[in-house]
Amino acid sequence: MVKYAFYTGCVSKGGAPELYQSITAVAPKLGLEFEELEGAACTGAGVLTERNEELADTLNARTFAMAERLNLPIMTICSTCQGVMSQANHRLKTNPGYLQRVNQHLAVEGLKYNGTATVKHFMWFLAEDYGLTNLQSKVVRPLTGIKLAAFYGCYVLRPTKDLEYDEHPERGEYLDQIISALGGVPIDYSGKTKCCGFPILTMNEKNSVTMSGNHMMEVKELGGEAMVTPCPLCHLSLDGYQPQAGKIKNVQIGMPIIHLPQAVGLALGIPPQTLGLNKHIVSTASFVGRVRS
Partner 1 sequence: MKVKLNVKRFDPEKGSRVYFQKYEVDMDDQATVLDALIHVREYVDPTLAFRCSCRSAICGSCGMRINGMAGLGCKTKIFQVAPNGEEINVEPMGNMKVLRDLIVDMGMFWDKIRAVEPWLQPTGPEPEREHIVPNQAMIDLTVAMNCIMCGSCVSDCTVMEVDKSFLGPAALAKAYRFVDDPRDGHTEERIEKYSKPGGIWDCTHCYFCVQVCPKDVAPMDRILDIREAALNAGIKNNNGSRHSDSFANSVKISGWLDEGRLAVESHGYTNIPELLPLIPVGLRVMMAGKMPSPIHHKRPGSKYVKQLFEKLEG
Q: Give the span between the Cα atoms of 191 and 252, in whole angstroms.
A: 19
Please pick, from the candidates 46, 115, 142, 183, the single residue that binds partner 1 as defined by CB under 8 A. 46
User: Mapping DSSP to helix (H, G, I), strand (E, B) and coil, where does residue 137 land?
Assistant: helix
Other beta carbons within 10 Å of 193: 15
> Omega into 159 within 30° of 0, i.e. cis?
yes
For the CB of residue 20, give the shortest distance to partner 1 in the complex, in Å.
11
Running DSSP on this structure, what letter comes out for residue 293? -
Work out whether 249 is an interface residue with partner 1 (CB under 8 A): no
Q: Give the phi and the psi of residue 66 in degrees, each rounded to 5.
A: -60, -40
Q: Which residues contact 141 (CB under 8 A, 6 or more apart)?
A: 266, 267, 268, 269, 291, 292
Q: Can you tell me which of 35, 54, 128, 173 binds partner 1, judged by CB under 8 A? A: 54
Q: Which are the contacts of 113, defined by CB distance < 8 A and separation ≥ 6?
A: 61, 62, 64, 65, 68, 92, 99, 102, 103, 106
182 binds partner 1 (CB under 8 A): no
Smallest separation, CB 37 to partner 1 (Å): 10
Kindly state the smallest distance separating residue 55's Cβ from partner 1, in Å: 4
Q: Single out the segment in contact with partner 1 by CB under 8 A; choices: 136-144, 174-182, 195-203, 261-269.
A: 195-203
Count of positions on this chain that bind partner 1 (CB under 8 A): 58
β-strands 185-186, 226-229: how paired?
A: unpaired
Q: Which stretch binds partner 1 (CB under 8 A): 11-19, 113-121, 178-186, 285-293?
A: 11-19
Report the Cα 186 to chain-centroid distance in Å: 18
Would you say 196 or 267 has its CB closer to partner 1?
196
**Hey, which residues between 98 and 137 contact partner 1 (CB under 8 A)?**
105, 108-109
Our CB check for partner 1 shows the closer of 4 and 20 to be: 20
Q: Is 47 in the site for partner 1 (CB under 8 A)?
A: yes
Report how far residue 214's alpha carbon sits from residue 211's, in angstroms, rounded to the nearest whole number: 5
Identify the DSSP state of 16: -
* Interacting residues with partner 1 (CB under 8 A): 10-11, 13-18, 38-42, 44-52, 54-55, 58-59, 62, 105, 108-109, 154-155, 157-160, 194-195, 197-200, 202-207, 210-211, 214, 240-241, 243, 278-281
